[in-house]
Each structure stands twice: as structure tokens, then as C-alpha cells.
Amino acid sequence: EAGVAQSPRYKIIEKRQSVAFWCNPISGHATLYWYQQILGQGPKLLIQFQNNGVVDDSQLPKDRFSAERLKGVDSTLKIQPAKLEDSAVYLCASSLNSRGSPLHFGNGTRLTVT
């Protein structure tokens, strides 16, 4: 089966600019996650979708971050405006359901904010 696809792989922007990341999960996976991984740290959950509904966005900085999964398949994560501390790898993952199913991760988008 095809894995989780993410684009772009790399992005360099200046602070205060905006950026968007795209994720295509594994076909049939109802749950989609966006994680932020700062260098040297474990992934931190930003938002979790079940189909096209938000299950958990308690750790999403909503003043600058937004995400959507309009048709319950692809998802986009946006940052506007970006700050230096947003430099990180943004990982998308999907799973069959939200009750303990293993997560399948994409290779991430490495964002550098200068």
C-alpha cells in the first residue's frame, strides 16, 4: 500500500511569512494527525482529525496555526505568521482509527524560519 505522502519536503521562509503543508494519508485511514518535532525532541501532537472532524487540537497554537481536512481525506496545515520558534519538522500520520491503531507517518516537512 502507498504510504503517507507529504509535501513539500523542505521549506525556508522568513519570519512573519505564511506557509502551508499538505498531507495525503493512507487510503481508508479515518484518523489523521499533525505532529511538530523540534530537533532533538519527540513529536508533539498539534491536531488530530477523525474523518473530517477535529478530535483534539488542544496543543495547536490557534492564533497562528490552522488545519483542515475538508473531505475527510487530504489535510493542510497552515502557519500565519511564522515565528523563528516554528522551525521544526512537521509530521503527518494516519491510522485506521483513534483507539490504539498504529500510526503510519510520512517523511515530514522540514521548515526553517529565518
* Contacts to another protein by CB under 8 A: 4, 33, 35, 40-45, 48, 55-56, 91, 93, 98-100, 102-108
Min. distance of Cβ 4 from another protein in angstroms? 7
CA 15, CA 38: separation in Å to the nearest integer? 17
Question: Which of 56/74 has CB closer to another protein?
Answer: 56
Q: Which is nearer to another protein, 17 or 22 (CB)?
A: 22
CA–CA distance, 15 with 85 (Å, rounded to integer) = 9
Q: CA 81, CA 44: separation in Å to the nearest integer?
A: 20
Q: Please, what is the minimum distance in Å from the beta carbon of residue 23 to another protein? A: 11
| Shortest distance in whole angstroms from residue 26 CB to another protein | 12
Strand partners of residue 109: 90
Q: Based on CB atoms, which residue is closest to another protein, 10 or 85?
A: 10
103's CB contacts (< 8 A; 6+ apart) are 33, 93, 94, 95
